[in-house]
Amino acid sequence: LGVETTASQIRLYELVFDDGRSSSPYVWRIRYALARKGLPFESVPLGFTQIPAVFKGRFKTVPVIEHGDRMMAESWDIAEYLDRAFPDRPPIFSGPAENAMVRLFDAWFVRDLFKKTFSVYALDIYNAARPDDRPYFRESRERWLKGTTLEAFTASRESRLPGVRDALAPLRSHLERNAFLGGNTPNYADFIALGAFHWVACMQTLPMLAKNDDVLRGWLDRSFAFYPEVTRGFNASTLFES
Amino acid sequence: LGVETTASQIRLYELVFDDGRSSSPYVWRIRYALARKGLPFESVPLGFTQIPAVFKGRFKTVPVIEHGDRMMAESWDIAEYLDRAFPDRPPIFSGPAENAMVRLFDAWFVRDLFKKTFSVYALDIYNAARPDDRPYFRESRERWLKGTTLEAFTASRESRLPGVRDALAPLRSHLERNAFLGGNTPNYADFIALGAFHWVACMQTLPMLAKNDDVLRGWLDRSFAFYPEVTRGFNASTLFES
């Protein structure tokens, strides 16, 4: 009972799109991590422009969790904290070797796939954001793009889609031999990859994946079935060309 | 004593260049794996064109190990076999989660880096091969290249070097926070990556890495110092522009 009381005190601060769905791939990792540990939580939805005021400058990014009198940001720190704080629940990481390997996967996945994904969906993210957040999103991202508008940046986005799909080839070849990236059961590498697909599914106006991409389709369906409490309302089919 | 007798019966069949050095990145993985387990072995050096006759068609690729009356190919099968056959020695894999994650790293690394590396070093591999092996290597690889000669394929290889170096960026960002890919100690992911660098070091006529690539230099030096019995005669400096 004591544990459940403690668990129920978790709050997850997340960034949301205008339709209320969580918009950060990093927040999605923590939604899966909390499900893995069987921890209920209260969601605190925020827009980009509310973050500075809500955290009074202490945190610049979400996810942020609040647990008792502790608040912390950074998805990796949060995931490791959940294992320390709830050692009697199913572990997110089996040990330091798995942790190091998932971090290596993350280094590759974020660098390669996030960059390519943004180059296709930058304008979709803008359009899906809360109206109040759009000016901030445009201004900050167009600064990254050295003045190129989101519209100009994504004008020939169809031509970049094969690059996004090709970047997923290592996932496909791994999933031809394994039910999940983590092997027989999903692990934090699955949560990282699933987070990216949730992010895209929440804002895409151009399907990320080809109709015949069966290996990824099977994995998404298995993962969504494994964590129904995270994926309620999601259907993998929206990510695929019809 | 019984264990040592058994261990001493291991033979490693490997592909070698004309100078006698092991030329397969997959064999290097097993050289490291045997060192991790502290297992001595007898090397059986082969050229490409000797493989069919020596194995009577049973195996088409090296590494092959012989242990007692058992012979097996495929580096992943061999590594897992060593953990099963020598459970009292240091494990290569801490468990299935680490194993799955290293396989995912392998899927990315081989697909991305091996392809790019071959596009720079195809002719160097040919020139480093035993003279008897060169016609086979040229003929089989030029068939992969749909008739393009090795010379034409590598004519503008300098222009591909930035792509090879950039593909290593996830390793760099991971190694900025970790001594080894495996975290505090090398694991099979390190062996996979080290194998690729040994392969290149044995045949390159164009340094693979830039002078200022300090993060990879530190990791190579640490790894070579960790396994002196594997890396004897190697100096990481040959991989870097002077």
pLDDT band for position A2 (50/70/90)?
very low
pLDDT tens string A161-196: 999 999 999 999 999 999 999 999 999 999 999 999
- Tell whether A152 is within 8 A of chain B (Cβ): no
pLDDT tens string B81-136: 999 999 999 999 999 999 999 999 999 999 999 999 999 999 999 999 999 999 99
Structure tokens at A77: 């720190």
**Which residue among A112, A181, A184 sits closest to B104, beta carbon to beta carbon?**
A181
Residue B229 one-letter amino acid = E
Residues 67-96 of A with CB under 8 A from B: 94-96
Fill in the DSSP letter of residue B114. Answer: I
Fill in the DSSP letter of residue B74. Answer: -
**In this structure, how many other beta carbons lie within 10 angstroms of the beta carbon of residue A105?**
26
A65–chain B nearest CA distance, Å: 24
ipTM value, please give it: 0.92
pLDDT tens string A69-91: 999 999 999 999 999 999 999 99
With 80 as the cut, is the pLDDT of residue B4 above it? no
- Report CB contact under 8 Å: A103, B184: no
- Report CB contact under 8 Å: B99, A174: no
Rounded Cα–Cα distance for residues A187 and A61 (Å): 24
Q: Is the separation of the CB atoms in B188 and B26 below 8 Å?
A: no
SS3 B70: strand
pLDDT tens string B32-76: 999 999 999 999 999 999 999 999 999 999 999 999 999 999 999
Q: Is the separation of the CB atoms in B40 and B7 below 8 Å?
A: yes
Rounded Cα–Cα distance for residues A108 and B104 (Å): 11
Q: How do B64-67 and B10-15 pair as beta strands?
A: antiparallel
Which pLDDT does position A154 carry in this prediction? 98
SS3 A10: strand
Interface test with A, best of B74, B99, B101 (most A CBs within 10 A): B101
CB contacts < 8 Å between A and B, how many? 96
H or E element, residue B44: strand B42-46
Rounded Cα–Cα distance for residues B240 and B242 (Å): 6
Rounded Cα–Cα distance for residues A25 and A54 (Å): 20
Which pLDDT does position B218 carry in this prediction? 97
Residue B2 one-letter amino acid = G
Q: Is the separation of the CB atoms in B205 and B195 below 8 Å?
A: no
Phi, psi of A80, deg, nearest 5: -70, -35
Burial of B15: CB neighbours in 10 Å, binned 0-12, 13-18, 19+: buried
Which pLDDT does position A232 carry in this prediction? 83
The beta strand positions in B68-122, using DSSP E, are 70-73
B160–chain A nearest CA distance, Å: 18
By CA distance, what is B92's nearest residue in A? A97
**Which residue among A111, A170, A182 sits closest to B97, beta carbon to beta carbon?**
A182
Structure tokens at B93: 């894999």
Which pLDDT does position A179 carry in this prediction? 97
- Report CB contact under 8 Å: A101, B170: no
Rounded Cα–Cα distance for residues A175 and A215 (Å): 7
pLDDT tens string B134-189: 999 999 999 999 999 999 999 999 999 999 999 999 999 999 999 999 999 999 99
